[in-house]
Structure 1
Protein backbone atom coordinates (compact mmCIF):
# COMPACT_ATOMS: atom_id res chain seq x y z
CA UNK A 1 0.00 0.00 0.00
CA UNK A 2 1.24 3.49 -0.81
CA UNK A 3 2.45 4.91 2.43
CA UNK A 4 2.62 8.51 1.34
CA UNK A 5 -0.92 9.69 0.78
CA UNK A 6 0.40 13.21 0.18
CA UNK A 7 1.72 12.03 -3.17
CA UNK A 8 -1.72 11.20 -4.51
CA UNK A 9 -3.62 13.90 -2.60
CA UNK A 10 -2.80 16.45 -5.29
CA UNK A 11 -4.12 14.06 -7.93
CA UNK A 12 -7.43 13.27 -6.23
CA UNK A 13 -9.40 15.79 -8.28
CA UNK A 14 -7.95 14.38 -11.50
CA UNK A 15 -8.73 10.80 -10.41
CA UNK A 16 -12.35 11.70 -9.65
CA UNK A 17 -12.82 13.60 -12.92
CA UNK A 18 -11.25 10.77 -14.95
CA UNK A 19 -13.50 8.11 -13.40
CA UNK A 20 -16.62 10.21 -13.94
CA UNK A 21 -15.52 10.89 -17.50
CA UNK A 22 -15.43 7.13 -18.18
CA UNK A 23 -18.72 6.38 -16.46
CA UNK A 24 -21.76 8.67 -16.73
CA UNK A 25 -22.42 8.83 -13.00
CA UNK A 26 -21.05 7.31 -9.83
CA UNK A 27 -21.73 7.56 -6.11
CA UNK A 28 -19.01 8.12 -3.51
CA UNK A 29 -18.49 4.56 -2.28
CA UNK A 30 -18.43 3.34 -5.88
CA UNK A 31 -15.60 5.79 -6.62
CA UNK A 32 -13.52 4.56 -3.66
CA UNK A 33 -14.02 0.93 -4.69
CA UNK A 34 -13.17 1.59 -8.34
CA UNK A 35 -9.88 3.28 -7.36
CA UNK A 36 -9.06 0.37 -5.04
CA UNK A 37 -9.83 -2.13 -7.82
CA UNK A 38 -7.89 -0.29 -10.54
CA UNK A 39 -4.81 0.12 -8.32
CA UNK A 40 -5.04 -3.43 -6.91
CA UNK A 41 -5.43 -1.98 -3.42
CA UNK A 42 -2.39 0.31 -3.66
CA UNK A 43 -4.52 3.42 -3.49
CA UNK A 44 -7.36 3.65 -1.03
CA UNK A 45 -9.29 6.88 -0.94
CA UNK A 46 -10.92 7.59 2.39
CA UNK A 47 -14.36 9.15 2.66
CA UNK A 48 -12.68 11.96 4.60
CA UNK A 49 -10.67 12.85 1.50
CA UNK A 50 -13.27 12.00 -1.15
CA UNK A 51 -16.35 13.92 -0.03
CA UNK A 52 -14.67 17.30 0.51
CA UNK A 53 -13.15 16.91 -2.99
CA UNK A 54 -16.55 16.04 -4.49
CA UNK A 55 -18.21 19.00 -2.74
CA UNK A 56 -15.47 21.34 -3.94
CA UNK A 57 -15.87 20.14 -7.55
CA UNK A 58 -19.62 20.59 -7.27
CA UNK A 59 -19.18 24.13 -5.88
CA UNK A 60 -16.85 24.93 -8.79
CA UNK A 61 -19.57 23.86 -11.24
CA UNK A 62 -17.64 20.83 -12.49
CA UNK A 63 -20.06 18.24 -11.10
CA UNK A 64 -23.80 17.84 -11.01
CA UNK A 65 -25.49 15.80 -8.31
CA UNK A 66 -28.51 13.58 -8.72
CA UNK A 67 -30.19 12.05 -5.69
CA UNK A 68 -31.89 8.68 -6.12
CA UNK A 69 -33.64 6.41 -3.66
CA UNK A 70 -31.90 3.02 -3.47
CA UNK A 71 -33.10 0.41 -0.96
CA UNK A 72 -35.00 3.07 1.01
CA UNK A 73 -31.88 5.22 1.29
CA UNK A 74 -30.97 8.35 -0.60
CA UNK A 75 -27.86 7.99 -2.72
CA UNK A 76 -26.03 10.91 -4.32
CA UNK A 77 -24.76 10.29 -7.82
CA UNK A 78 -22.09 12.60 -9.19
CA UNK A 79 -21.66 13.38 -12.88
CA UNK A 80 -19.58 15.79 -14.93
CA UNK A 81 -20.98 19.05 -16.20
CA UNK A 82 -19.83 20.37 -19.59
CA UNK A 83 -17.19 22.44 -17.77
CA UNK A 84 -16.23 19.33 -15.81
CA UNK A 85 -15.58 17.41 -19.03
CA UNK A 86 -13.33 20.22 -20.30
CA UNK A 87 -11.50 20.40 -16.96
CA UNK A 88 -10.92 16.62 -17.10
CA UNK A 89 -9.01 16.95 -20.38
CA UNK A 90 -6.98 19.82 -18.96
CA UNK A 91 -6.18 18.02 -15.67
CA UNK A 92 -5.17 14.78 -17.43
CA UNK A 93 -2.83 16.64 -19.76
CA UNK A 94 -1.32 18.44 -16.76
CA UNK A 95 -0.88 15.17 -14.82
CA UNK A 96 0.68 13.33 -17.77
CA UNK A 97 3.17 16.16 -18.21
CA UNK A 98 3.98 16.08 -14.48
CA UNK A 99 4.51 12.29 -14.57
CA UNK A 100 6.91 12.62 -17.53
CA UNK A 101 8.83 15.35 -15.71
CA UNK A 102 9.10 13.24 -12.55
CA UNK A 103 10.12 10.22 -14.62
CA UNK A 104 12.95 12.26 -16.17
CA UNK A 105 14.16 13.21 -12.68
CA UNK A 106 13.75 9.82 -11.02
CA UNK A 107 14.74 7.48 -13.87
CA UNK A 108 16.43 9.46 -16.64
CA UNK A 109 17.15 6.30 -18.63
CA UNK A 110 13.40 5.70 -18.96
CA UNK A 111 12.42 9.24 -19.80
CA UNK A 112 10.39 9.76 -22.94
CA UNK A 113 11.56 12.33 -25.42
Structure 2
Protein backbone atom coordinates (compact mmCIF):
# COMPACT_ATOMS: atom_id res chain seq x y z
CA UNK A 1 0.00 0.00 0.00
CA UNK A 2 2.95 2.32 0.51
CA UNK A 3 2.37 5.91 1.54
CA UNK A 4 -0.94 6.85 -0.04
CA UNK A 5 -2.55 10.24 0.50
CA UNK A 6 -5.21 8.61 2.66
CA UNK A 7 -2.57 7.58 5.18
CA UNK A 8 -0.81 10.93 5.03
CA UNK A 9 -4.05 12.63 6.00
CA UNK A 10 -4.22 10.37 9.05
CA UNK A 11 -0.59 10.66 10.16
CA UNK A 12 -1.26 12.94 13.12
CA UNK A 13 -4.02 10.63 14.34
CA UNK A 14 -1.72 7.61 13.96
CA UNK A 15 0.98 9.36 16.00
CA UNK A 16 -1.47 10.39 18.72
CA UNK A 17 -2.93 6.89 18.94
CA UNK A 18 0.49 5.28 19.31
CA UNK A 19 1.57 7.78 21.95
CA UNK A 20 -1.69 7.26 23.85
CA UNK A 21 -0.69 3.61 24.26
CA UNK A 22 2.92 4.30 25.28
CA UNK A 23 4.38 6.63 27.86
CA UNK A 24 6.78 8.07 25.31
CA UNK A 25 8.33 7.13 21.97
CA UNK A 26 11.13 8.41 19.75
CA UNK A 27 10.75 8.96 16.02
CA UNK A 28 12.36 5.79 14.71
CA UNK A 29 10.40 3.77 17.24
CA UNK A 30 7.16 5.25 15.88
CA UNK A 31 8.06 4.32 12.30
CA UNK A 32 8.93 0.77 13.31
CA UNK A 33 5.76 0.32 15.36
CA UNK A 34 3.61 1.40 12.41
CA UNK A 35 5.52 -0.93 10.11
CA UNK A 36 5.11 -3.80 12.60
CA UNK A 37 1.38 -3.22 13.21
CA UNK A 38 0.60 -2.99 9.49
CA UNK A 39 2.86 -5.93 8.61
CA UNK A 40 4.92 -3.65 6.40
CA UNK A 41 1.96 -2.26 4.45
CA UNK A 42 2.49 1.26 5.78
CA UNK A 43 5.96 2.70 6.06
CA UNK A 44 6.23 6.23 7.40
CA UNK A 45 9.25 8.11 6.14
CA UNK A 46 11.28 10.49 8.27
CA UNK A 47 10.36 13.20 5.76
CA UNK A 48 6.70 12.78 6.70
CA UNK A 49 7.08 11.91 10.37
CA UNK A 50 9.27 14.69 11.73
CA UNK A 51 7.31 17.62 10.26
CA UNK A 52 4.15 16.06 11.76
CA UNK A 53 5.84 15.65 15.16
CA UNK A 54 7.13 19.24 15.08
CA UNK A 55 3.68 20.55 14.13
CA UNK A 56 2.04 18.63 16.99
CA UNK A 57 4.70 19.94 19.37
CA UNK A 58 4.12 23.54 18.19
CA UNK A 59 0.38 23.08 18.77
CA UNK A 60 1.06 22.04 22.37
CA UNK A 61 -0.17 18.50 21.80
CA UNK A 62 3.23 16.88 22.32
CA UNK A 63 6.14 17.60 24.58
CA UNK A 64 9.71 16.54 24.02
CA UNK A 65 12.01 14.90 26.51
CA UNK A 66 15.68 14.60 25.55
CA UNK A 67 17.74 11.72 26.95
CA UNK A 68 21.26 10.50 26.34
CA UNK A 69 21.24 6.96 24.95
CA UNK A 70 24.50 5.26 23.96
CA UNK A 71 26.30 8.62 24.08
CA UNK A 72 23.74 10.18 21.69
CA UNK A 73 20.86 12.52 22.38
CA UNK A 74 17.45 11.04 21.65
CA UNK A 75 14.19 12.99 21.54
CA UNK A 76 11.23 11.25 23.12
CA UNK A 77 7.74 12.50 22.35
CA UNK A 78 4.84 12.24 24.76
CA UNK A 79 1.30 13.57 24.94
CA UNK A 80 0.48 16.68 26.94
CA UNK A 81 -2.91 16.96 28.67
CA UNK A 82 -4.10 18.85 25.60
CA UNK A 83 -2.69 16.00 23.50
CA UNK A 84 -4.70 13.43 25.42
CA UNK A 85 -7.89 15.40 24.75
CA UNK A 86 -6.92 15.87 21.09
CA UNK A 87 -6.34 12.11 20.75
CA UNK A 88 -9.88 11.32 21.92
CA UNK A 89 -11.28 13.92 19.50
CA UNK A 90 -9.18 12.75 16.52
CA UNK A 91 -10.00 9.08 17.10
CA UNK A 92 -13.73 9.86 17.26
CA UNK A 93 -13.43 11.91 14.08
CA UNK A 94 -11.63 9.04 12.31
CA UNK A 95 -14.16 6.45 13.52
CA UNK A 96 -17.00 8.61 12.19
CA UNK A 97 -15.19 8.99 8.86
CA UNK A 98 -14.66 5.21 8.57
CA UNK A 99 -18.32 4.56 9.42
CA UNK A 100 -19.44 7.02 6.73
CA UNK A 101 -17.11 5.43 4.16
CA UNK A 102 -18.50 1.98 5.01
CA UNK A 103 -22.05 3.23 4.45
CA UNK A 104 -21.09 4.88 1.16
CA UNK A 105 -19.29 1.82 -0.19
CA UNK A 106 -21.68 -0.74 1.25
CA UNK A 107 -25.13 0.82 1.76
CA UNK A 108 -26.37 -2.39 3.42
CA UNK A 109 -23.90 -1.68 6.25
CA UNK A 110 -25.86 1.43 7.25
CA UNK A 111 -29.14 -0.50 7.36
CA UNK A 112 -27.80 -2.96 9.93
CA UNK A 113 -27.36 -0.30 12.61
Q: TM-score range by the shorter chain?
A: over 0.9
Task: Say what the alpha-carbon RMSD is for the aligned residues.
Answer: 1.2
Compute the TM-score of the two structures, normalised by the length of structure 1: 0.94
Residue 106 of structure 1 deviates from its aligned partner by: 1.4
| Pairs aligned (count) | 112
Please give the alpha-carbon distance, in whole angstroms, between the structure 2 residues aligned to 1:65 and 1:110: 42
The aligned counterpart of 2:43 is 44
Residue 110 of structure 1 deviates from its aligned partner by: 3.5
Structure 1: any 5+ residue segments left out of the alignment? none
Compute the TM-score of the two structures, normalised by the length of structure 2: 0.94
Structure 2: any 5+ residue segments left out of the alignment? none
Please give the alpha-carbon distance, in whole angstroms, between the structure 1 residues aligned to 2:109 and 2:35: 27
The aligned counterpart of 1:7 is 6
Residue 99 of structure 1 deviates from its aligned partner by: 0.3
